[in-house]
């Protein structure tokens, strides 16, 4: 791969756009995951009684749907990222590569 | 019960076997038949894969032709070890809600891997994660350190799996411990030596499908018995246990520092496990790498919901059934870790018990094969080809070295597996995750994202993290008190990762900034190209055809 291709990519404003969009999206989702998970852990560590509150008449407690919810959120977040990255970001990457190759 | 039990429970049902199982189980014929069928099928796959494994790329990465969906299943397979199937459902059986806390800790690392490392890894790497770490840094020191980090992680993890395997097989099949360990070792050597990554991946995929199907069947039968209502399941479980405590967090997380430290070890340790990282090189490009994590997270999350259901089902079905209770010691026969196995029997009789036992064994085989391949790659690709021979080596020689390494690792694993039979091996899994989080992950992460990282910073900071992790594990209760027999632990928390990972990051940061050498300036200058490749995949191995 020639030196020039890298220089052309570097100079392409679309590359800066790709990096900016993807990094901010990825970090936002990562922060959501970290906040959700560590909130869950901190409630267990400092206020376990919160998760022991009963949902209704039966024995099911608040902790059960919250716990299952964390699992589902983790999966949904990976879905959201993959959807956007495999569509929008890959399209942008494709354009950057094409432009770098055609300007020879 | 504290967080450390997680590692205890998940790594080794050994302690249960040692403490509570004096005799071997009677031969279970259906289990043996199904297991033999699995072994024959996987050996057939190995034969098929061997004919297709001609180049080093085939051997290390299955030729890079695995799809995202297949790789997702294989990653999930690596993660859903027998220990996590039996351990987590056993923990739910004993503690109810607390079991869920563990599952979640194991799952949440995956989204982070996807967002921050998966595609960059694919774009930069070739065969091992050391390829990525040493991309713009000096080959020799970085590869040596990364290979040592890989080998240490693999070795500790492998010993834990081997000991667990030996004891599980002893319980399930009535086979002597030594024979069980030797059999696992030989089969894994065969898969990896002849079939390379292609065979290892397919063994993993088949096992993942079998495990997910078996666990789904169990969960569905349990839900059928309670009219598909979780409320009914929970209320019957509470009635059986005569205690509401299983519906809420118990004493598992008594101190927040241990909790956070374990969370860090699980989350970032996962992102530093060499056999997991290696799977990202088996797909063709970043797109498939992302899909891999998406599917893997889905399968693993689904699996943990199943184990949670099975654990509660076990409470309902086993707690008051004398068939499964140990009249002498109390509790169920074989301890909590056997709850999924007994539940299989309660649901589907000897036939289904045989199926689940065979699947549990298949799971161990698949996981140790993946670990061995990762270890062998660190020896042949990093230490031999790139450090010892300085890249001047032909592919055939490199592959031959990797095959010898596989055999050597397999023999070492058998010997250590036998040597550690009676040891508490919990700390080994703790150590494996701590080293992965404190040495492998910081170097990998900073090499991809931080321009000012230099070789000196990575080597000294990474070594410092590795050293801190090992010292803190030795000073913690698992080794200092339980193994060395001292009265109180010097390091009061269950897991070192919070401190050792911080030491690694801070060490790397300070030493890199202080590094004014000429080579450091070159390494910093090389970042831009690396960054372009990591972001776009330009020049990436295997992506040229796309």
State the average pLDDT over residues B401-405: 94
DSSP symbols for B447-516: HHH-TT--HHHHHHHHHHHHHHHHHHHHHSIIIIITTT--SS-SS-SS--HHHHHHHHHHHHHHHHHH--
Q: Domains in chain A: how many in total?
A: 1
H-state helical runs in B226-273: 230-241, 256-270
Q: Is it the case that residue B5 has pLDDT exceeding 60?
A: no
| A-proximal residues of B, 433-452, CB under 8 Å | none
Strand partners, B5: none
Residue B541 scores a pLDDT above 60:
no
Q: Which of B92, B468, B495, B82 is nearest to B263 (CA)?
A: B495
Q: Is the pLDDT of residue B13 over 50?
A: no
Residue B539 at interface with chain A, using a CB cutoff of 8 Å: yes
> For position B3, what pLDDT does the model report?
40
- Statement: residue B362 has pLDDT above 70: yes
pLDDT in tens, B79-122: 888 778 888 899 899 989 988 988 898 899 899 999 999 999 99
- B265 has pLDDT over 90: no
A63-84 and B97-107 helices cross at what angle (nearest 10)?
10
Q: Using one digit for the tens of pLDDT, what is the confidence trace for B138-169?
A: 999 999 999 999 999 999 888 888 888 887 78
Query: ∠ CA B509-B514-B515 to the nearest 5 degrees?
Result: 100
Q: How confident is the model at residue B425 (pLDDT cuts 50, 70, 90)?
A: low
By mean pLDDT, which of A59-73, B67-81, B354-368, B372-386 is the weakest?
Answer: B354-368
CA dist B247 and B92 (Å) reads: 10
Is B474 part of the contact surface with chain A (CB cutoff 8 Å)? no
Surface of B (256-275) touching A: CB under 8 A = 256, 259-260, 263, 267
| Residue-level pLDDT at B506 | 97
Domain that holds residue A51: 3-102
Residues 6+ apart with CB under 8 A from B521: none
Q: What is the pLDDT of residues B46-89, one digit of tens each?
A: 999 999 998 889 999 999 999 999 999 999 998 888 778 888 89
Distance from CA of A32 to the nearest CA of B (A): 10
- Domains, chain B, ordered by start: 30-421 (1.20.1730.10)
Give per-residue pLDDT as tens, A67-99: 999 999 999 999 999 999 999 999 999 999 989
pLDDT for residue B539: 82
CB contact B100 to A (< 8 Å): yes
Short-list B466, B383, B395, CA closest to B432: B466
Nearest-Cα distance to chain B for A103, in Å, is 15
- Tell me the pLDDT tens digit for each residue of B183-242: 999 999 999 999 999 999 999 999 999 999 999 999 999 999 999 999 999 999 999 999
Distances (CA, A) of B37 to A92, B41, B44, B348, B355: 49, 6, 11, 20, 11
DSSP code for B423: S
At residue B426, the pLDDT reads: 64
Over residues B312-358, the pLDDT tens digits come to 999 999 998 988 988 888 788 877 888 998 999 999 988 898 899 88
Interface predicted TM-score (ipTM) = 0.94
Q: Across the strands, what pairs with B283?
A: B66
Helix (H, G, I), strand (E, B) or coil at B517: coil
Q: Does B536 touch chain A (CB under 8 A)?
A: yes
From residue B26, how far is each of B141, B175, B236 by CA, in Å? 53, 9, 32
* Residue B309, both tokens: 């259901």
A41 vs B contacts (CB less than 8 Å): 101, 253, 256, 259-260, 263
CB contact under 8 Å between A67 and B255, yes or no, is no
Which positions in chain B touch A64 (Cβ < 8 Å)? Answer: 97, 100, 230, 234, 247
Residue B6: pLDDT above 70?
Answer: no
| A66 contacts chain B (CB < 8 A) | no
pTM: 0.90
Count how many Cα atoms sit within 13 Å of the Cα of residue B87 in the half-sphere of its side chain: 25
| Cα separation, B462 vs B506, whole angstroms | 10
Nearest chain A CA: its distance from B136 CA (Å): 15
The model's pLDDT over B447-471, given as tens digits with 9 standing for 90+, comes to 999 999 999 999 999 999 999 998 9
pLDDT at B334: 76
The whole-angstrom distance between residue A35's C-alpha and the CA centroid of its chain comes to 12
Percentage, residues of chain A above pLDDT 70: 95
Residues of B in contact with A30 (CB under 8 A): 111-112, 115-116
* pLDDT (0 to 100) of residue B19: 36
pLDDT score, position B23? 41
């Amino acid at each position: 791969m020639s030196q020039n291709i890298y220089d052309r990519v570097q100079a392409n404003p679309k590359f800066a756009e790709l990096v900016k969009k993807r990094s901010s999206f990825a970090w936002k989702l990562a922060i959501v995951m970290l906040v959700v998970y560590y909130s869950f852990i901190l409630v267990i560590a400092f206020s376990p009684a919160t998760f022991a509150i009963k949902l209704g008449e039966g024995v099911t407690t608040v902790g059960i749907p919250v716990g299952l919810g964390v699992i589902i959120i983790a999966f949904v977040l990976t879905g959201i990222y993959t959807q956007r990255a495999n569509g929008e970001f890959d399209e942008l990457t494709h354009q950057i590569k094409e432009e770098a190759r055609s300007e020879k | 019960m504290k967080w450390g039990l997680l590692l205890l429970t998940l790594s080794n049902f050994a302690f249960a076997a040692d403490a509570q199982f004096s005799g071997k189980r009677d031969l279970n014929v259906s289990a043996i038949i199904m297991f033999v069928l699995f072994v024959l099928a996987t050996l057939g796959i190995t034969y098929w894969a061997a004919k297709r494994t001609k180049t080093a790329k085939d051997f290390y990465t299955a030729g890079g032709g695995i799809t995202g969906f297949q790789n997702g299943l294989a990653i999930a397979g690596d993660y859903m070890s027998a220990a996590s199937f039996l351990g987590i459902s056993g923990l739910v059986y004993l503690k109810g809600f607390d079991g869920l806390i563990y599952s979640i800790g194991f799952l949440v690392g995956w989204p982070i891997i996807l967002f921050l490392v998966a595609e960059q890894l694919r774009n930069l790497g070739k065969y091992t994660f050391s390829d990525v770490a040493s991309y713009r840094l000096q080959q020799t020191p970085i590869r040596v350190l990364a290979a040592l980090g890989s080998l240490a992680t693999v070795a500790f993890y492998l010993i834990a799996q081997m000991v667990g395997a030996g004891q599980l097989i002893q319980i399930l099949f009535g086979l002597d411990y030594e024979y069980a360990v030797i059999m696992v070792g030989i089969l894994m050597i065969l898969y990896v030596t002849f079939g390379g990554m292609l065979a290892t991946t397919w063994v993993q995929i088949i096992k993942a499908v079998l495990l997910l199907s078996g666990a789904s069947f169990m969960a569905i039968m349990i839900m059928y018995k309670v009219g598909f209502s979780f409320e009914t399941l929970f209320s019957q479980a509470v009635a059986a246990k005569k205690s509401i405590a299983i519906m809420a967090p118990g004493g598992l997380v008594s101190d927040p520092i241990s909790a956070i430290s374990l969370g860090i070890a699980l989350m970032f340790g996962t992102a530093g496990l060499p056999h997991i990282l290696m799977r990202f090189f088996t797909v063709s490009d970043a797109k498939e790498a992302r899909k891999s994590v998406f599917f893997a997270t889905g399968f693993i999350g689904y699996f943990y919901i199943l184990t949670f259901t099975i654990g509660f089902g076990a409470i309902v079905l086993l707690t008051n059934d004398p068939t499964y209770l140990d009249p002498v010691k109390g509790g169920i026969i074989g301890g909590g870790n056997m709850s999924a196995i007994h539940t299989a029997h309660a649901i589907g009789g000897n036939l289904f018990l045989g199926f689940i036992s065979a699947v549990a064994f298949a799971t161990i085989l698949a996981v140790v094969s993946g670990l061995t391949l990762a270890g062998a790659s660190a020896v042949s690709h990093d230490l031999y080809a790139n450090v010892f021979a300085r890249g001047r080596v032909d592919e055939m020689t490199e592959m031959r070295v990797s095959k010898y390494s596989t055999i050597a690792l397999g023999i070492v694993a058998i010997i250590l597996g036998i040597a550690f039979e009676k040891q508490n091996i919990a700390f080994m899994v703790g150590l494996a995750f701590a080293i992965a989080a404190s040495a492998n992950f910081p170097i990998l992460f900073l090499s991809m994202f931080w321009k000012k990282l230099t070789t000196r910073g990575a080597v000294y900071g990474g070594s410092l993290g590795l050293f801190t992790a090992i010292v803190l594990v030795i000073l913690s209760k698992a080794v200092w008190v339980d193994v060395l027999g001292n009265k109180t632990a010097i390091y009061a928390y269950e897991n070192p990762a919070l401190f050792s990972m911080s030491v690694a990051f801070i060490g790397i940061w300070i030493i890199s900034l202080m590094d004014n050498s000429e080579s450091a300036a070159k390494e910093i200058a090389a970042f831009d190209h690396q960054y372009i490749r990591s972001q776009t995949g330009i020049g990436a191995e295997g992506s040229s055809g796309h």
